[in-house]
Amino acid sequence: MATSSTIVHNVYLPADAIPTAETRIKLADRILISPLVLGTWAWGDTRIWNWTPESDPKAKDAFDISISKGINTFDTAEGYGNGESERCIARYKENHPAATDIVIATKFFPTPFKLFYPSSLISALRESLARLKVECVDLYQIHGPIHLRSIEVIGDALAEAVKLGLTKTVGVSNYSTAEMIRMYDCLQKHGIQLASNQVEYSLIRRLPETSGHIAECHKRGVAVLGYCPLGMGGLTGKYSRANPPPGNRKCSRINMDELEPLLETMRSIATKRNVSVSSIALNYVICKGVIPLGGAKDGNQAEQNAECLGWRLTNEEITELENHPINRQPTFFESIWQHG
């Protein structure tokens, strides 16, 4: 909900704007999201993020602190923890005095065996709504371009979800520029604006920027949401040559010797600005016209992430960071899953 102090920008934060707790980005002319989104991939996930019953109150702290810092948007998916991430959000927002106005984005996992549309998508969306304990979600996204049916069939199903009042806006994830344009064109025929494309974007994966994908999205009024802006922990300053990340993370496949010069630069800027290393990574993404999805498993991580608000990297600082490019080759799975 916008107030008299809310500063609204369309699709992305312009180059002369400072991201603050009062800043909101308008998507598809319908929803207002914070310039930093809380990503909840880790909530309920036992395979990669080692979720346990003891993790639950810590994640609740991350939820509460994020709201207190002006972050109103939470990104989840039916596939996160087999739906547990969605259930976490439902639990955490119960009886929270400020949680009535939060924005919830979730995703449909379009496995190849799902062939019947719009029924497959609509039934999955209704199940997500039940887990989230809401009647309508703010943003419903296709999780990845792995569906066997055409983009137009999927787009028609998304349009049906909007017409049924089950979601306010619709988006995609991991789509290439060509795929994004096809989805945009399909939805336009229904009079619906494609709200967003969610892609991996960070200091260690700049492909959406260097390929021109971000510019093509913005040209059409499509916001770009950046997942893994912290490199799955690799850009938080927590890990080093002496303390490498655990094995199931993307950042664990990066040579820490190669990453160390970038981390040293990030630490230097963070020290000068009296902010966390994580906030340097997140502010960088914001400066590039992308809305970062910063993950947080506990209150401390949420606090560190929120330090990216209230200031903006200078052009000189951005150049310093970009002077340490990382050459990370995609895995076979990533080449199938990530087109954008």
CA 60 to chain centre: 19
> What stretches of 177-222 show up as alpha helix (H) in DSSP?
177-188, 207-210, 213-219
Between the CA atoms of 302, 229, 26 and 161, what dihedral angle is there, to the nearest 10 degrees? -100
Q: Is position 80 annotated as part of the catalytic site?
A: yes
Burial (CB count <10 Å: 0-12, 13-18, 19+), residue 256: middle
The active-site residue out of 80, 92, 184, 284 is 80
Question: Rounded to an integer, what distance in angstroms lies between the CA atom of residue 21 and that of residue 221?
Answer: 23
CB 7 within 8 A of CB 23: yes
The one-letter amino acid code at 178 reads A
CB 139 within 8 A of CB 167: yes
Which residues are marked as active site?
80
